[in-house]
Amino acid sequence: MAKKGRVFSGARPTGRQHLGNYLGAIQNYVALQDDYDCVYCIVDVHALTTVETTQDLRKNTFEMALDWLAAGIRPEESILFIQSHVPEVMELHTYLSMVTALGKLTDLPTFKEKVAQQPENVNYGLLGYPVLMTADIVLYKTDVVPVGVDQAPHVEFAREIVRSFNYRYNTKVLIEPQVKHTEILKVLGIDGKAKMSKSLNNHIELAATPQETSARVMEMVTDPARMKRTDPGNPEVCNVFSMHKIFSPAEEVNMIDAECRRAGIGCVDCKKRFAANLNQHLEPFRAKRAELASQPDHVADVLNNGAERARVIAQETIKEVREAMQLP
């Protein structure tokens, strides 16, 4: 079946992925493969703008690739690769930087946030981040970028840079990427308050063992107003219930909804049920992940092959870009 176009998406190598990554991004990456030619990139160069040391970079990249592949990225169809393995992106970044106004970059809220977060390390990479991101997108002749509503301005900025380039060199060589609005699920951590995140240590790793997963689930905060077993609870404010709605069968969800409200089920039992359903859901993922983890050379081959295929597109774009710029 003909595909609708090419999708590009990238994510920093953050190592083992958690439920928030899975529900918020990876599941969507997997689904998009049915309708689009997908290019998925682990953006290790972007990571350099914030990391203090690169000693975990290779390990984190490998772990993340394992999770993506085990979750259903199909490398025989989609292109999965590491950003730095296609150095053409650095060249395009440089050309695009010449058509990007400095004032626009310094005005971006994301840049200001980073400056506030790491005032001792305000490097050029932080400022040029959106330009490199634009190079990532357009280098692979991307048609659409899947983003949540709050990330749409990033793609709009990329479109502006593309327009500036095409206008400056009187060309149409770079494609303005379109936004594909995607519902990005906001998954709360086990604290039930903040978004699930490794840095807050409120996450549940996909690759954790069933025992580790159950232990994390048992730590989950429930309806804070339910102080004792005999108090009726309110599932609508309970993060465990939100997760049940994703991972448990409808009948069980309905039962919990009703029983919680009349104190017919306790939170311990409710969490045990969720842990069992989550572990069952993750069983095929874990089996595939273990198989891949035992074949690191195969995973390296997959990533190298992805980079080779990405590079064919990248070199074609760079050739067209140089011609449009009339570079000698």
Nearer to ligand SF4, 45 or 267 (CB): 267
Q: Choose the stretch contacting ligand SF4; rule: CB under 6 A; options: 68-76, 87-95, 164-172, 263-271.
A: 263-271
243 binds ligand SF4 (CB under 6 A): no
Angstrom distance (rounded) from CA 63 to CA 303: 12
154 binds ligand SF4 (CB under 6 A): no
Q: Among 42, 96, 145, 260, which residue sits at the site for ligand SF4 (rule: CB under 6 A)?
A: 260
Least Å from the CB of residue 223 to ligand SF4: 4
Nearer to ligand SF4, 159 or 244 (CB): 244
- Chain positions 71 to 110 lying near ligand SF4, rule: CB under 6 A, are none
Q: Among 69, 132, 265, 303, which residue sits at the site for ligand SF4 (rule: CB under 6 A)?
A: 265
Q: Choose the stretch contacting ligand SF4; rule: CB under 6 A; options: 17-25, 74-82, 167-175, 221-229.
A: 221-229
Nearer to ligand SF4, 231 or 308 (CB): 231
Nearer to ligand SF4, 18 or 271 (CB): 271
Q: Among 23, 41, 188, 240, which residue sits at the site for ligand SF4 (rule: CB under 6 A)?
A: 240
Least Å from the CB of residue 245 to ligand SF4: 10
Angstrom distance (rounded) from CA 227 to CA 214: 22
Cβ pair 47, 91 in contact under 8 A: no
Least Å from the CB of residue 264 to ligand SF4: 9
The 3-state secondary structure of the chain, one letter per residue: CCCCCEEEEEECCCCCCEHHHHHHHHHHHHHHCCCCEEEEEECHHHHCCCCCCCCCHHHHHHHHHHHHHHHCCCCCCCEEEEHHHCCHHHHHHHHHHCCCCHHHHHHCHHHHHHHHHCHHHCCHHHHHHHHHHHHHHHHCCCCEEEECHHHHHHHHHHHHHHHHHHHHCCCCCCCCCEEEECCCCCCECCCCCCECCCCCCCCCECCCCHHHHHHHHHCCCCCCCCCCCCCCCCHHHCHHHHHHHHHCCHHHHHHHHHHHHCCCCCHHHHHHHHHHHHHHHHHHHHHHHHHHHCCHHHHHHHHHHHHHHHHHHHHHHHHHHHHHHCCC
Q: Among 145, 270, 292, 302, which residue sits at the site for ligand SF4 (rule: CB under 6 A)?
A: 270
Least Å from the CB of residue 273 to ligand SF4: 8
Q: Among 11, 32, 206, 267, which residue sits at the site for ligand SF4 (rule: CB under 6 A)?
A: 267
Cα–Cα distance list, 170 to 163, 166, 277, 323 (Å): 10, 5, 57, 12
223 binds ligand SF4 (CB under 6 A): yes
Q: Among 24, 146, 233, 306, which residue sits at the site for ligand SF4 (rule: CB under 6 A)?
A: 233
277 binds ligand SF4 (CB under 6 A): no
Least Å from the CB of residue 250 to ligand SF4: 15
238 binds ligand SF4 (CB under 6 A): yes
Q: Among 19, 43, 70, 256, which residue sits at the site for ligand SF4 (rule: CB under 6 A)?
A: 256
- Give the residues across from 38 on adjacent strands: 7
| Binding footprint of ligand SF4 on the chain (CB under 6 A) | 222-223, 226, 233, 235, 238, 240-241, 256, 260, 265, 267, 270-271
